């Protein structure tokens, strides 16, 4: 499928307008349709004083890491190593040590943000995030805020450590290595990793910039506690954090490769002749698990699949009127990626400018609308 040149030109105008308006210093936009790369834009600079942005420039992906982590559990489900309604303690008995009620938490609950432990004290200890055993101990000790399965509350960081330890317990392999072997390498995602690889330099990652919030009528809840945009940028610009394996937040990669991952999802688990997940598992993974009018963490409507967010609310970032079939994820104030299985369309929009969530949603949805105008 080839998009009209005039449509691609118009899409480039929207992309450039966001840069010219100062919404971010640098950005990438990649779009696949029916397995074909139609758009692979890069523009601006890699930071306030950076070099010219390229399509190969790596960026921190924030919560767009969550689908990568979830895909590892889905891969294990394909192998018959787990069932989604398995209780976490069946694979990780110590998980409920700090609160016996956690014995009821299932893998399905964890993947759909219904586990009941949206935050932990460990969230506020970034100096320890690089210590996997400390993260495991923290998840074993965390107490429930909600009864498992009673409501959805976005697990901004706890999602990743629990998913990661489940992958390690079930497969015997750390999640960063498992994702590399079973997701990234099969899809040719050579620039993508969970945590900065040992042989990579922190200088290879674009510099994040936190922009001040505009004057707003209310203060929304934040996914990383009380951190301002500038504080979040400073924290995640640190090489120690980028090297930490945080399966909810420290994915590093490019828009092109993240869009390729979403193209695999849109194509029923296969891309360019390589099958990563079965079509049946993709159907289960993208199925709606929870729809709430007010997410207990985010304070807005949210629709969750397993490892993904589902479109269909006015607060998602997949277009102003996004079809409910669309699924994907967004990352802290700067990026978004989604898959449309009906049209086999995949989009990833990556920037290095962290903005307040309403501003982030506006620019991400504007780009999604422009994509649909060109392709549909």
Q: Give the model's pLDDT for residue 204.
A: 86
pLDDT tens track for 17-60: 999 999 999 999 999 999 999 999 999 999 999 999 999 999 99
Of 43-57, 157-171, 218-232, 333-347, the range with the lowest mean pLDDT is 218-232
DSSP assignment, residue 87?
Answer: B
Helix (H) or strand (E) holding 369: helix 357-375
User: Residue with structure tokens 């586990």?
Assistant: 115
At 221, the pLDDT band (50, 70, 90 cuts) reads very low
* Cα gap 158→145, rounded to integer Å: 13
Q: What is the CATH number of the domain that holds 271?
A: 3.40.710.10
Q: Give the model's pLDDT for residue 28.
A: 98
* Cα gap 367→235, rounded to integer Å: 28
State the Cα torsion 341-347-353-354 to the nearest 10°.
0
Helix (H) or strand (E) holding 230: helix 229-237
> Facing residues of 253 across strands?
59
Is 70 exceeded by the pLDDT of residue 87? yes
The CA-based angle 150-63-217, given to 5 degrees, is 75
Of 83-87, 215-219, 292-296, the range with the lowest mean pLDDT is 215-219
Q: Give the model's pLDDT for residue 3.
A: 56
Helix (H) or strand (E) holding 353: strand 353-354
Is 80 exceeded by the pLDDT of residue 337? yes
* Cα gap 356→216, rounded to integer Å: 10
- Paired tokens of 333: 């104030």
* Cα gap 30→110, rounded to integer Å: 30
Is 70 exceeded by the pLDDT of residue 261? yes
DSSP per residue, 272-321: TTEESS-HHHHHHHHS--EEESS-TTTSS-EEE-SSSEEP-STTSSS-TT
Percentage of the chain lying above the pLDDT 90 cut:
84
The number of domains in the chain is: 1
* Cα gap 251→179, rounded to integer Å: 11
> Facing residues of 349 across strands?
29, 336
Mean pLDDT, all residues of the chain: 93
Note down the domain range covering 345: 5-375
Mean pLDDT within 142-160: 97
* Cα gap 91→213, rounded to integer Å: 43
Mean pLDDT within 199-213: 85
CA-CA-CA-CA torsion sign (206, 118, 328, 177): positive
- Paired tokens of 87: 């209780």
Mean pLDDT within 105-128: 98
Cβ(177)–Cβ(168) below 8 Å: no
Is 80 exceeded by the pLDDT of residue 217? no
CA-CA-CA-CA torsion sign (215, 220, 224, 226): positive
* Cα gap 325→202, rounded to integer Å: 37
């Amino acid at each position: 499928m080839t998009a009209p040149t005039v449509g691609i030109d118009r899409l480039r105008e929207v992309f450039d307008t966001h840069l010219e308006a100062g919404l971010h210093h640098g950005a990438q936009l990649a779009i696949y349709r029916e397995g074909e790369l139609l758009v692979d834009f890069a523009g601006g600079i890699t930071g306030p004083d950076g070099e010219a942005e390229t399509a190969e420039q790596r960026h921190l992906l924030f919560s767009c890491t969550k689908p990568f982590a979830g895909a590892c559990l889905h891969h294990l489900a394909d192998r018959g190593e787990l069932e989604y309604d398995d209780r976490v303690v069946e694979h990780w008995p110590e998980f409920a040590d700090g609160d016996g009620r956690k014995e009821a938490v299932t893998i399905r609950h964890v993947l759909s943000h219904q586990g009941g432990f949206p935050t932990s004290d460990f969230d506020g200890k970034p100096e320890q995030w690089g210590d996997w055993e400390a993260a495991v101990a923290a998840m074993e000790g965390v107490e429930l805020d909600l009864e498992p399965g009673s409501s959805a509350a976005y697990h901004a960081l706890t999602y990743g450590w629990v998913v990661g330890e489940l992958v390690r317990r079930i497969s015997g392999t750390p999640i960063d290595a498992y994702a590399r072997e079973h997701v990234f390498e099969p899809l040719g995602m050579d620039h993508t990793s969970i945590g900065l690889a040992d042989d990579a330099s922190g200088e290879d990652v674009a510099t994040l910039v936190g922009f001040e919030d505009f004057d707003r009528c209310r203060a929304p809840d934040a996914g990383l506690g009380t951190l301002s945009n500038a504080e979040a940028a400073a924290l995640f610009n640190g090489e120690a954090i980028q090297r930490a394996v945080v399966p909810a937040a420290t994915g590093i990669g490019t828009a092109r490769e993240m869009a390729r991952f979403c193209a695999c999802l849109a194509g029923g688990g296969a891309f360019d002749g390589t099958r990563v997940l079965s079509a049946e598992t993709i159907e289960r993974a993208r199925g709606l698990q929870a729809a709430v009018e007010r997410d207990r963490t985010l304070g807005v409507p949210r629709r969750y699949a397993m490892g993904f967010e589902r479109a269909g609310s006015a607060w998602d970032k997949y277009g102003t009127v996004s079809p409910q079939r669309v699924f994907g994820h967004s990352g802290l104030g700067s990026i978004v990626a989604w898959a449309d299985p009906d049209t086999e369309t995949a989009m990833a929009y990556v920037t290095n400018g962290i903005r307040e969530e309403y501003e982030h949603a506006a620019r991400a949805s504007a780009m999604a609308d422009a994509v649909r105008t060109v392709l549909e």
